[in-house]
Structure 1
Amino acid sequence: MRFHIGAGPELQLDLTSALDIGSCRVDGVELSPGRAVPDDGDPRILHAVGGFLFTCGPDHVRHPEPIAGTSGRKYPLHGSMAATKPEIIAHHRTEISEEVIARIIVRMAQGGDAEILRTWRMDGATGEVTLTDRLTNIGPQPFPPMLMYHMNIGAHLFDDETMLSGSMYEPGGMPWTFGEGDGHVFCVPANREEGDEFARVKLGPLAPLGGKSLEVGFANDTLPYLQMWRNQASPAHVLGIEPVSHPWKKRADLQDEGMMTLLAPGEFLIYRLSFSFI
């Protein structure tokens, strides 16, 4: 589904997988990594990770772990939401903005259902794209919600001038080639500047976009961590900016630390993020 107006990026919203973002083009340049991603053996994720943004959760993020109370069953890679078809319930377009609202019902691995009411908006004047997800427990039992947004960019677009900066980084930022070797992951608290409702991270300049940078913002009340990931082990060549609800730890450790707060039937949480090319 094409989603574009005015100065905004040209997006393709995925009607087969949670209304995530597949293609993202800016000034005619494709930013999504496409096939330059690792294959972890799950076709849902291989499809999703090649796009510009996909959503992990709402029952699990990161790699598979055992489901408590079962005989060895595991949560799927990055949770149950990928490959879930959305129901479009509204689509509004004016001369200066576009909005799409969808309902996504996720059957979770441990049982029960969750509803994500997803709203995409694009400001044609500023080019800013915003996402609001309302996650509601519509099942009969409480569950600990987990959510992570993978924003994946083809790293062939970067050069030695491309840096990461923002409220999570020291002044001056850091190179996009963080860590050592062909890949690295780290996860840090998502700090925000005083007076700003969002934590922010910037990636750039991007020479193929005429020196523009990608700026990502997210509300750290429900997304209190930022995970960064890169993989240059051929055929992969990708960097991920990943706002996330939980630090990079095993479920058992998160449980022991009191970080797996339950969402009761009928309760909901709101997750918000934005991005723009500046």
Structure 2
Amino acid sequence: MKAFSAARGPTLFLDETSVLDIGGCLIGDIDLSPGRAIPDDGDPRIDHSLEGFLFTCGPDHIRHPEPIEGAADGRKYPLHGSFSSHPAEILFWDVQDGDAECRARVRVTMASGEPALLERHWRIDGATGEVTLSDKITNSGTKAFAPVHMYHMNVGAWLFDDHVRLSGKMLEGEGFPWKFGADPGGVFCVPAKENGEQWAEIALGPIAAIGGLTLKVKFKTDTLPHLQIWRNQKEPAHVLGIEPVSHRWVSRYELAEKGELGLLKPGESIEYGLRFSFG
């Protein structure tokens, strides 16, 4: 893990062994990542990723395993897709005038055996402390594939008290307490795009453990038009996830049947964007 920080904002620990996702996310000396307070899905690479504050699902699959289309041997897409465990090649890493910036390239082998390329750009604004992530996925293979994408932002929920709320225009009543639904947890997925807005915003807070700050997350709605939220308080898990996602929460079969999967042809690219800050 490499520490990545600017004049203001969090200290992030970026994982060079796995897509340059975020392991630890420190505000002062408090790490918001869940660590081992996560469910064990039986896939070591996902356990490793899920421990961190942010990991990326895709580019070929985003949720639990489903059959690979056209695979005669019954193979399935791996849990949360093929990204996790692919090492990142860092191209640029610098801090100038209080801003921090990093660029990396990740060559991915998808479940089909075909390649894809992730070009990743991290930036922290030293004046505001806002973190920006820009991702570009290119089909570097010879066959078209359905691009899917999800950012898992996972927070250790032991940091929360009863005053912590989820707030956003896409939520029922524009917000509710973090411990939604029935215990020990649950998940929902809602449309995030309203009135043609290019960016959607969801907030989680105030979090007393980090001085009453609120986590504010923004994401590009052209390619991430949905928001999934999950929480799990079934021991040893104690985690809440904020998950901007490219597709609604139904099977691949239904998405394909309704023409919602889409295809990325060889040489074509698609871009995703995420921002977050504490204030």
Q: Same fold (TM over 0.5)?
A: yes
1:263 equivalent in structure 2: 264
2:23 equivalent in structure 1: 22
Counterparts of 1:183-198 in structure 2, within 5 Å, are 183-192=185-194, 197-198=198-199
CA deviations on 1:45-78 (whole Å, 9 max, x unpaired) are 0000010000000000110011122211110000
- Alignment partner of 1:83 is 2:81: no
2:240 equivalent in structure 1: 239
Verify the 8 A CA contact 1:167 1:191 in the aligned structure 2.
no
Partner residue of 2:158 out of 156, 159, 166:
156
2:127 equivalent in structure 1: 125
1:147 equivalent in structure 2: 149
Verify the 8 A CA contact 1:132 1:270 in the aligned structure 2.
yes
Partner residue of 1:98 out of 87, 97, 100:
100
Verify the 8 A CA contact 1:144 1:260 in the aligned structure 2.
yes
2:113 equivalent in structure 1: 111
Once residues 138 and 171 of structure 2 are traced to their aligned partners in structure 1, the CA distance between those partners, rounded to angstroms, is 33
| Structure 2 unaligned regions, length at least 5 | none
Q: Secondary structure in 2 aligned to 1:131?
A: strand
Shift of 1:244: 0.4
Verify the 8 A CA contact 2:198 2:222 in the aligned structure 1.
no
Shift of 1:92: 2.5
Verify the 8 A CA contact 1:17 1:48 in the aligned structure 2.
yes
Q: Secondary structure in 1 aligned to 2:84?
A: coil
CA deviations on 1:175-207 (whole Å, 9 max, x unpaired) are 11111021100000012477x531000000000
- Alignment partner of 1:167 is 2:164: no
CA deviations on 1:79-135 (whole Å, 9 max, x unpaired) are 000000000011132022111000011100013111010000001110000000011
- Alignment partner of 1:32 is 2:33: yes
Verify the 8 A CA contact 1:193 1:199 in the aligned structure 2.
no
Verify the 8 A CA contact 2:131 2:276 in the aligned structure 1.
yes
| Structure 1 unaligned regions, length at least 5 | none
Q: Secondary structure in 1 aligned to 2:63?
A: coil
Shift of 1:172: 5.2
Verify the 8 A CA contact 1:63 1:76 in the aligned structure 2.
yes
- Alignment partner of 1:8 is 2:9: yes
Once residues 7 and 136 of structure 2 are traced to their aligned partners in structure 1, the CA distance between those partners, rounded to angstroms, is 27
Once residues 193 and 181 of structure 1 are traced to their aligned partners in structure 2, the CA distance between those partners, rounded to angstroms, is 34
Once residues 107 and 117 of structure 1 are traced to their aligned partners in structure 2, the CA distance between those partners, rounded to angstroms, is 14
CA RMSD, aligned part only? 1.1
Once residues 170 and 75 of structure 1 are traced to their aligned partners in structure 2, the CA distance between those partners, rounded to angstroms, is 33
- Which amino acid letter does the alignment assign opposite residue 211 of structure 2? G
- Alignment partner of 1:177 is 2:186: no
Verify the 8 A CA contact 1:165 1:174 in the aligned structure 2.
yes
- Alignment partner of 1:203 is 2:211: no
- Which amino acid letter does the alignment assign opposite residue 103 of structure 2? I
Once residues 125 and 75 of structure 1 are traced to their aligned partners in structure 2, the CA distance between those partners, rounded to angstroms, is 42
Once residues 203 and 236 of structure 1 are traced to their aligned partners in structure 2, the CA distance between those partners, rounded to angstroms, is 19
Q: State how many pairs are aligned.
A: 277
Once residues 180 and 165 of structure 1 are traced to their aligned partners in structure 2, the CA distance between those partners, rounded to angstroms, is 19
Verify the 8 A CA contact 1:167 1:193 in the aligned structure 2.
no
Shift of 1:5: 1.1
Once residues 224 and 191 of structure 1 are traced to their aligned partners in structure 2, the CA distance between those partners, rounded to angstroms, is 6
Verify the 8 A CA contact 1:192 1:200 in the aligned structure 2.
no
